[in-house]
Chain A
């Protein structure tokens, strides 16, 4: 039983991390109607910035805060220099241009930081396991990811649902032309949204960095999952991204955790242990396919255009 609790926490932690990445992506896609494949590069840059700043300052928290600011600035810079010119264009042009940006960032990182990757060591107070229930110990760092991500989700909810900027963002998601016509500075709004998305991606990257390594191309695999999440959740919907991310995180982790044992009941042990990882990584895509058939708009579509 305690194992189940722990595995659920693992799933929740993974899901929340995916949410941070997907939230930025869904905002940019939903509000700006812009397909940004380079979102994964911002995730990578967040991790590289954090590894660099933590090494420079010697403080984990300070380094992380600096890295967050740097990714935000990078996002704003990227939007105003390059991506702004692509808004009117076809989605295919945007895919091509942002795919180019992935290659650009990968080579930039190779030039600046070298091909070998970096480590982002945790301070000792984050490396101890914490007792959350009697007999259940959980790594402090994974717990802190859950807490930070939940806090960010609450903050996003507050900003989007309760503030004027949030109102504009929601309006932008449902009808872009109209808010332009109402005299809202849509250029500024877009820059802001993109910067926010970049910072969220950077946050996801830097929080994942101590668990994984900081390496070139680290954002590419996870970006696919982020796209799956925004498709499941409904494009442009933060709530949808949140729910879908938790779903995907849970399915992925629980699938890996319990599927091998279930399969062992019907298959031979070796067949089960090799089939299970393949099957559990398919589950997410099965879910997406089912959602696309049943609710093509996603689970929680943003208001109709």
Chain B
């Protein structure tokens, strides 16, 4: 486990968790708001990146707005002895975005591999599902696909006020 955030790291997280300023010197803008120096904000973000606290500094596309209106969470019951090997192969498919091993919740939920499939239609998503099924072969005992019908909330992580 890495060291928890110190109070200054925490202020930087809070100042940037909704997004980075779209101004020519964004770290200087964050620094100014927090009464820090630009160099310190950059150094602390770099340190948080090294420690794995910042996963990446990046853009999050809105799949739906970009026409990827079918979003299927495919779930698979994969034999335990092959889950790591096959999970890595499924995760490497170009059309799979998020891919995780998660615990089963028996008896109602036998699935231990979750792979998010995006497409312009359910037909396209189901063709992708078929490719995953072919890859898993007999190591997969059953599967299902859960489509999202509404985004109910999407804010990302928010730190509480101390």
Task: State whether these chains interact.
Answer: no
